[in-house]
Amino acid sequence: MGNASDTALFVSTISKELDFLMGILYSIFCVLSLLGNGILMLVAYRKRLSLKPAEFFIINLSISDLGMTLSLFPLAIPSAFAHKWLFDEITCQFYAMCGVLFGLCSLTNLTALSSICCLKVSFPNYGNKFSSSHACVLVVAVWCYASVFAISPLAQWGHYGPEPYGTACCIDWHAPNHELSALSYIVCLFLFCYALPCTVIFLSYTFILLTVRGSRRAVQQHVSSQTKTTNAHSLIVKLSVAVCIGFLGAWSPYAIVAMWAAFGDATIVPPAAFALAAIFAKSSTIYNPMVYLLCKPNFRKCLCRDTSTFRNRICRGSPRPEQKDPFGSISQPSQRNNKEMSISYGQPESPVACLHCAEDGAPCQTGTTSQRTACILTGSTYGEVTVSQLSANLQADFL
């Protein structure tokens, strides 16, 4: 873990090349996380009045990812490039506590979200009773659950210390080798913050997949497989698989290496293994917003709509120059609202009656030669004339 010096609390134990690579990757993760989670929060704010209870957990997940991004990366990036920890012991404790707090909050949040999805899909009688107030209570419980394990090392149940690779801080994985209380903390952390969430997530999505499979068979017996119900089920399956892969891909490497150090001989665990595992764990801050922005249908639609609106404003510029309307004068809002015109190619447009029909509602004569007509709205009154009756300028504008 390095030697103390006048300029650093501890120094890196991995190569400068690997430290430089970590600095580059952390910088990329930081930018992408700020963009992804910022967009997710913006979309959630735009549709805040129509948020569903389960979507509260998606927002909470984004908050915890942003918290990890803002508290860890600004300290880890310069330390990685400097090849040593640049800050003091108190900052080290703060860094480690934030890493555990926001990391466990994200994992616990995913567990709660999977449980709610399971209730909604597999047990609708109970899931339909889940309200926004229930979601708020559960979100608070998620933070309290994570806080218990994050604050415990500060109360001497477990310890915080430098990471084995020397440019960051986390739980002291060497302490269980010679301290019983630290060992008990690691055991509880593994059981209640990794094994239990994994089990709940897998059971939840297993129930979802079984329910979807049974429902799809029932649907295929009565209607085409291309129905909205089947499409909705496919989206649920994709989201389920994406969340499971993200959970395991991001956190399992670090959990495996940490348990290796805690329950085995910590001195034989290569520091580079911890460094690579930490990179995977921190990548979860960019993975989660990508999953929900791309796979959550209503979030994706809202994002596409906002993106299209923003692009149109950029293309048009602001303010727009005054344009002439078809009548040759400068268009004003009052004038444009006062008179509108539309073209019909020989067919009546409801609710306006066709000029070639009798006023009493008799059907049109099919033998009548169709003519292009213009529907004119003056104030609140519709009128319709043939294009041939318009002035030459208006005919040129329409045709």
pLDDT tens digits for range 40-78:
888 888 888 888 888 888 889 899 999 999 999 999 999
- Least confidently predicted of 121-135, 240-254, 375-389: 375-389
Three-state secondary-structure class, residue 317:
coil
- Beta strands 339-345 and 372-378 are antiparallel
Give the residue, 95 or 128, on which the prediction is more confident.
Answer: 95
Highest mean pLDDT among 8-12, 131-135, 145-149, 284-288: 145-149
Q: Which two tokens mark 348?
A: 């009546």
pTM: 0.71
Query: φ and ψ at 378, to 5 degrees?
Result: -115, 110
pLDDT over 80 at 140, yes or no: yes
- In angstroms, what CA-CA distances link 265 with 95, 257, 262? 25, 11, 8
pLDDT over 60 at 118, yes or no: yes
- In angstroms, what CA-CA distances link 343 with 10, 13, 358? 78, 77, 21
Q: Quick one: what percent of the chain has pLDDT higher than 90?
A: 30
pLDDT at position 4 is 40
Q: What is the pLDDT of residues 167-206, one digit of tens each?
A: 999 999 888 878 898 999 999 999 999 899 889 988 988 8
- In angstroms, what CA-CA distances link 194 with 114, 182, 187? 15, 17, 10
- The pLDDT mean for the chain works out to 76
Query: φ and ψ at 344, to 5 degrees?
Result: -125, 135
Task: Tell me if 158 sits within 8 A of 173, measured CB to CB.
Answer: no
pLDDT over 90 at 383, yes or no: no
pLDDT at position 262 is 84
Average pLDDT over residues 224-231: 50
Q: Which two tokens mark 169?
A: 């801080």
Which residues on neighbouring strands pair with residue 324, listed in sequence order? 330
